Structures are given as C-alpha cells and as structure tokens.
Amino acid sequence: MKRIIGRLNPEDRHVNIWGAGFSGLILGYYLKDQGYSVTIYEKSNKVGGKIQTKKTAHGLAEKAANALFLNQDGIELIRELKLEPIIATKKLKRLILLKGKPRRPFQIKLFTKIALNAYKKPPLISDGLTVADFFEPLIGEENLKNYVSPALGGLYAETAEKLHFKSIFPQVGKRAQLDSYWAFIRMLMKHYKSQPKLETSGSVSFEGGMQTIINRLAEILKKDIKLNSKEPTKLKGNTVICTDAQSAAELLKEARPELSAELERIKYKQLSSTTVFLKREIKSLNKSFGTVIPLNSGFHSIGILNNKAIFPANNPNISSYTFIGHQEVGRKEIVEDILQLSNEITQDDIEHIETTFWDKALPVYDLQLFLAIKKLHQLASKEQNLAIFGNYVAGISLRDMISAAKNFSRNPADYAENP
C-alpha cells in the first residue's frame, strides 16, 4: 500500500490539516478516532473538494467521483459512518467501445495474442518504463490502443504511453526482470487471491450520491473545520497538507522550498464531467455499467457511466449518463457523441445537461510524478511533524485514500517504509 508522505510527532496530540477535500476529511476522521484533536483549514467556503453531488429536477448529477469501489477498509468505513450504501448492480458490465459499439473487453484476438506471446521475456522494469513499453511485446500496438489505454484511461484518464509502469503496477515491487509474461500474470493472480474475501464487493454510492459520505464526515468533524481559511504565514505543530500538489507547493513555498519545488513538478489532467438526462435509453449502453472509449475513435468523450447502475432511485422515466471528456469537451460535443451512439435519440429527448470542468482534475501518473514522489519521501523522512496527502500521493481512487489514511493514523510517527 502507498503511504502518506512524512510523519507526525505523536507526543503532540493535535494535528492541523490543510484542505477539506476527501483526503483531508478522511484523514481527520481517522486521526480523531485514534485520539488526536484536529483542525481542518479549508480555503473555499465548502467541504468535499471535487466530490459534489447536484440534485436536479431529473435526478442526481455527480461533478467528479460517481462511486466508491469497495475494499475491506471501505466496507468498515461505511459501517462506522452508519451509511446505507447502494450497491451497483453486477448485471451491468464494464465495456469497451469498439467499432462504435460497447463490447466485452476480452476478445478472442486479444486472448490469442496473450497466449502466443506469454512465454516472452518482458522488458527490464526500469524507472523509465511506461505501461506501453511493457505490454507492447505481449499484445501488439493495436490491442494496446484498443484495450489497455482505454481501460487504464477509465481510471487515470491517460494513455498507456504516458502512464508509468511501476506506479500503475506496484505489485511488481522491486523486481527488475521477470522471466516471462506468464510470471507477471501469475504474480497478479497471486496478489488478487491474497486479498481478503469481501462480504460485499463492487462499487457503491448512496441515495444522496457521493455527497452523502462528505456530509457525514463533515458532520462528525463540524467543530474542527474552518472554512474560508487564509494561507498560514507559518506552519505550526503537526501539519498535514491535503490539497492538490500545486496548492501544496504554494503552501510550503516559504517553509520548505525543496519540498515545494518537487510538488510543483507534478502535472494535472484537465477533464470535464457531463451528466445528461434523456427521455429514453441509449439502447447500445443498456447493458453497460461503464464504457471506456479508445482515443481516435471519433468520439469526444473517453468514458460513459450508465447511472442506472448506481442511482436506481432516480426518476424511472428518465435515463441518465455521465460522460467524461477532456477539458474542451462541453455540451455540443457530448450531444454529438450521443447522436453517434444512437440513431433514435434526437435533441428533443434531452431533458437536462450538467457540465463541470476541472482544471486540475487528476494527477498524471507518469515518470515525473514517480520521481517527484520518490524525492518527496526522501526529503520528508527528515521531517518530525509534517506530512503530505492527496490523490497524487496514495492513489487516485477514494478507496486507496481510505486505506492510506487509516493506516497512517494508526502510527503516524512510523516511517519504516522504504519508498
């Protein structure tokens, strides 16, 4: 598991947290649970950061995260918070758009390539290796473009050529060379088999959307949150910075210029999230939970979520879909995508559209981020009461952040992990 960078002084039982997005709130929650008192300073006038659910007359529209993918820590958190999860139906599948149609990701062509090339020795696992470098000898350029890039794009919004292999597959650990691709496949299978069996699995949301989890955390921490906070002139006592990397760089500019310079190197991807409410279903998507779309396939969006999977309580006469696109993708482009997906739907079927643009949507998990994180761990190992956390540190998904925050709060002074 990836660790929050830095350490705290356990003799001082108070922690100042900067940022009340999911990372700041979840860390505040677990630290409080361990007997620390916390103050969470938030620059804006609201908590939750990117997680925001808008209630419209037609149903719910998420501005960023649509669901929490469960692990054991996620299950325990939901129970502790006394939340009622809505479990996404397993009947709907994760699909890939190929030749204009959503299809199952595992196609004969892909399997055949894997079977034929699995005996090959993969390239050396160096720091500079990208996901594309690793998989190309196994499955070839076309399969990489059609399957691996869109599948990873659904999580990281980047192509295999950009994504850094060791960051995406931390399971390889410190191994530099694998004997064959079979060894890699076996290693992944062993890793997944070693994970504890979950009583509930898959993705969940809540009746009020993802805002529900934010509201519950904010309720527990209500006396500890200070909205509209000005940047501190000096860092005092135990401090954890829980913002995006660029804001963290700004916060640490004076006090820790070296840390600040590393944080500044971390790049972000711009994205848009558009929820469309339609009078009828897009038939080609009716069996999909989510559909990822290869680049250069003639579509503007890179992924589509079928909201009936997670919002069954929405108006049953309205179908809603969330389209994730690159920054420049807005209403016009999403309507073009819908018309391409269905020749039955017309402009008159569109009831409502909600679009959110995120300038710093997700950190780019590339070599630069890997090197910056490595350096940040080295620099922060000298710190006694400073730590940094957020989705560029411990994983993009909320479930990774839950596990990292829980783990850190149990022993925030320990810095045993060799990054």
Stretch that binds ligand FAD, among 173-181, 216-224, 252-260, 396-404 (CB under 6 A): 396-404
Judge contact between 351 and 280, C-beta under 8 A: no
Residue matched to tokens 């999580």 = 155
| Residue 41 in the binding site for ligand FAD (CB under 6 A) | yes
Report the residue from 6, 7, 21, 97 that binds ligand FAD according to the rule CB under 6 A. 21
Q: Give the contacts of 278 (CB within 8 A, at least 6 positions apart).
A: 318, 319, 320, 321, 338, 345, 349, 350, 351
270-299 residues near ligand FAD, rule: CB under 6 A: 271, 273
Stretch that binds ligand FAD, among 14-22, 89-97, 119-127, 175-183 (CB under 6 A): 14-22
| Residue 29 in the binding site for ligand FAD (CB under 6 A) | no
Facing residues of 225 across strands? 40
Residue matched to tokens 């940040």 = 376
CA atoms within 13 A on the CB side of 334: 28
* Cβ at position 11, least distance to ligand FAD in Å: 26
| Nearest CA-CA partner of 155 in 92, 94, 243, 87 | 94
Report the residue from 92, 358, 375, 419 that binds ligand FAD according to the rule CB under 6 A. 358
| Residue 398 in the binding site for ligand FAD (CB under 6 A) | yes
Report the residue from 8, 15, 23, 367 that binds ligand FAD according to the rule CB under 6 A. 23
* Cβ at position 283, least distance to ligand FAD in Å: 24
- Applying CB under 6 A, the site for ligand FAD has a residue count of 37
| 143 residue type, one letter | N
| b/e per residue 323-345 (b: at least 16 CB within 10 A) | bbbbeebeeebbbebbeebbeeb
| Residue 15 in the binding site for ligand FAD (CB under 6 A) | no
Cα separation values, 261 from 244, 254, 257, 267, 379, Å:
14, 11, 6, 13, 11
| Residue 22 in the binding site for ligand FAD (CB under 6 A) | yes
* Cβ at position 120, least distance to ligand FAD in Å: 34
| Residue 354 in the binding site for ligand FAD (CB under 6 A) | no
* Cβ at position 347, least distance to ligand FAD in Å: 25
Identify the sign of the CA torsion 71, 157, 170, 141: positive
| Residue 242 in the binding site for ligand FAD (CB under 6 A) | yes
Cα separation values, 271 from 96, 145, 153, 230, 296, Å:
19, 20, 12, 27, 17
Stretch that binds ligand FAD, among 62-70, 183-191, 290-298, 312-320 (CB under 6 A): 62-70
| Nearest CA-CA partner of 155 in 312, 20, 63, 269 | 269
| Residue 251 in the binding site for ligand FAD (CB under 6 A) | yes
* Cβ at position 69, least distance to ligand FAD in Å: 6
CA-CA distance, 129 to 164, in Å (whole number)?
6
| Residue 249 in the binding site for ligand FAD (CB under 6 A) | no
- The 193-232 contact track toward ligand FAD, x by CB under 6 A, reads ------------------------------------x-x-
Interface with ligand FAD by CB under 6 A: which residues?
18-24, 41-44, 49-51, 64-68, 229, 231, 242-244, 247, 251, 271, 273, 324, 358, 361-362, 390-391, 396-398
